[in-house]
Amino acid sequence: MSSPMLRGFVLGLLMVAIQSCAVEPAGPNAPVADGGSDGAISVDGRAIKVGGKAIQLKGVCWNPVGKGHQHPPRDDYAAFADQDIALMKAAGINVVRTYDTIRDTRVLDKLHAAGIRVIMSVYAYGGEPATRASEHVTALKNHPAILMWSLGNEWNYNGLYTGMSFNDSMARLNQIAAAIKAIDTTHPIATVYGEMPSRDTLERMPDVDVWGLNMYRGITFGDAFDKWKGLSQKPMFLAEYGADAFNAKLPGYDPESQGTATRALTEEILEHSTANKGGVCSGGTLFEWSDEWWKSGNPSQHDNGGAAPGGGPYPDGTFNEEWWGIVDVDRNTRPAYEALKRLYAP
């Protein structure tokens, strides 16, 4: 997410150069996954289409770091996959966004079987070589669970988690996007930006097909949809939004307020849907699926506190970093999960 987790994020990424569960790159004769029965993925104006039909991203951010563990999740993807995917499917969730690359195809197979696609992060940490993204794409581009590739996370705030300048961060991501397009033309490329980019930024990143916006403005997105309409004809989705379950005003546990914000914000996204209403928004990936105890202190205990740029969540304007899950670390559901289920489940 935002700046309070930067130290943990960078330390975790420095611990892992390449995920232990890597798969071999697909051979030149491997089938193109999205050219089959699932339909080709394309960008048509503001819409993201699968098989020629605009889709609504009914998503969550998925970073299943277990108790006592650190980011990146590594083996936690496999450990939590069965339980998490079953709960997601029951709630009508059809996409997950990652902060790390899932190279375990057993996990991807399970997501695909449940009808859940992946907005796959292939480059977030500027300390990695630019070629790392191409390695991930080459290995995974034929898997039918992949919806699109994602570059960066709030990189305008954090300089790709290395303090890189804005222009240098943009140059790195442009380099990576061009390299990906040279090896894969079947999946769009997204970048995830903190709040609203300028017209100049949009124009300087021509190989980005889809823009994900991390946005925390309380219980409404305000003028965000109108502003995007005037800025770009490209697809946009809310890559992070929502509220945590700890209320600093009490202070104390407040899952009801989290549920209220989740319902209101998701309804606002649906009202501006490209798929259903002719709007400007392709959907959202709610932050986040499960609590992450590693962010603010001892990874074996549930801590409070945190601060971040880009506004603040309802109802307290405070980012309590370890309390954002719509399920807790033990996978007990919260009212926010039920709110999404009522809006998304068939």
- The answer to whether 313 and 306 have CB atoms below 8 angstroms apart is no
CB atoms within 10 A of CB 75: 13
- The answer to whether 205 and 193 have CB atoms below 8 angstroms apart is no
> pLDDT per residue over 116-128, tens digit each?
999 999 999 999 9
pLDDT at 235: 98
CB atoms within 10 A of CB 52: 9
pLDDT at 56: 95
> pLDDT per residue over 241-273, tens digit each?
999 999 999 999 999 999 999 999 999 999 999
Show the low-confidence residues of the chain (pLDDT under 70).
1-38, 306-311
pTM of the model: 0.89
What amino acid is encoded at 74 in this protein? R
pLDDT at 6: 41
pLDDT at 310: 57
Rounded distance between C-alpha atoms, residue 271 and residue 311, angstroms: 22
pLDDT at 306: 65
Q: In the numeric block, which tokens belong to residue 181? A: 């397009």
Domains of the chain, start order: 3-17+56-344 (3.20.20.80)
Rounded distance between C-alpha atoms, residue 339 and residue 334, angstroms: 9
> pLDDT per residue over 185-238, tens digit each?
999 999 999 999 999 999 999 999 999 999 999 999 999 999 999 999 999 999
DSSP 239-275: EE----SEETTTTEE-HHHHHHHHHHHHHHHHHTBTT
Burial of 30 (0-12, 13-18, 19+ CB in 10 A): exposed
3-state percent breakdown (helix, strand, coil) of the chain, nearest 5: 35, 20, 45
Q: How far is CA 10 from the centre of its chain?
A: 18
- The answer to whether 236 and 316 have CB atoms below 8 angstroms apart is no
